[in-house]
Amino acid sequence: MGREFDPLFDEWAATYDDAVAGHDIEYKEVFLHYDDILNEIANRAIDNVLEFGVGTGNLTKKLLNKGLDVIGIEPSKEMRTLAKQKINQLEIYDGDFLLFPTNIKPIQTIVSSYAFHHLTDAEKNKAISIYTEMLPKDGKIVFADTMFASEHEITIILEETKKRGYNRLLADLQTEYYSTIPFLKQNFEKHGFAVQFHRMNKFVWILEAEKNNEHRKHF
């Protein structure tokens, strides 16, 4: 359920903000337009928001600045500590995409940035089914994450990453659970969502899914 990555994020917490700012050359393209990506999520969110993978609170701040109520879920103890230091009033809980407190206020939007790939494809499907039950009609899911247009694109990017000698990024791409857009589209639609995708950089796309709306063409 993604909790196997907790030690990694406890270790990464202290330097995470430097990485997203582009100071880590191997991950510079992954975090290209990072601020725009977070703004895009915040602009699409509505009403009460449940955020998975709060990290150090960068997206949370933008959601709060928009006047939205936010409940945060974060599995990493170190990340939770840093997020609370940034945002004193933040309501944040230990949990993950599948196991989290359910005795919370009604939620209209579920958001996440750079985190959904910590679930296997089977776990992603299970998570979507949980969110279907949580959200009202016209409720939304807005995720920004690394995802790929096709299996062929995965092969090309792995080859490029290897040639550039980006061994840490290569290991990440090979060991975490990055999905293709066709897989995600099929599974969100199966659970009653209309879903669209918008590319933000070479790696990251915005996925926006609306419950019980007519399907709209993506791309």
Please report, in tens digits, the pLDDT of each residue of the chain (219 residues total). Answer: 455 655 665 665 667 677 778 889 999 999 999 999 999 999 999 999 999 999 889 999 999 999 999 999 999 888 899 898 889 888 899 999 999 998 889 999 999 999 999 999 999 999 999 999 999 999 999 999 999 999 999 999 999 999 999 999 999 999 999 999 999 999 999 999 999 999 999 999 999 999 975 444 333
The pLDDT of residue 207 is 98
Instruction: Report the distance separating Cα 203 and Cα 154, nearest Å.
Output: 10
From CA 101, how far away is CA 99, in angstroms rounded?
A: 7
pLDDT for res 20 = 79
Q: What separation in angstroms does the CA of 150 have from each of 12, 143, 180, 216? A: 29, 18, 6, 20
CA–CA separation, 170 and 113 (whole Å): 20
Sign of the alpha-carbon dihedral angle for 23, 1, 38, 14: negative
User: According to the model, what pLDDT value does residue 3 have?
Assistant: 54
Query: pTM for the complete prediction?
Result: 0.90
Kindly list the distances between the CA atom of residue 94 and the CA atoms of 7, 51, 214, in Å, as whole numbers in the listed order. Answer: 14, 12, 35
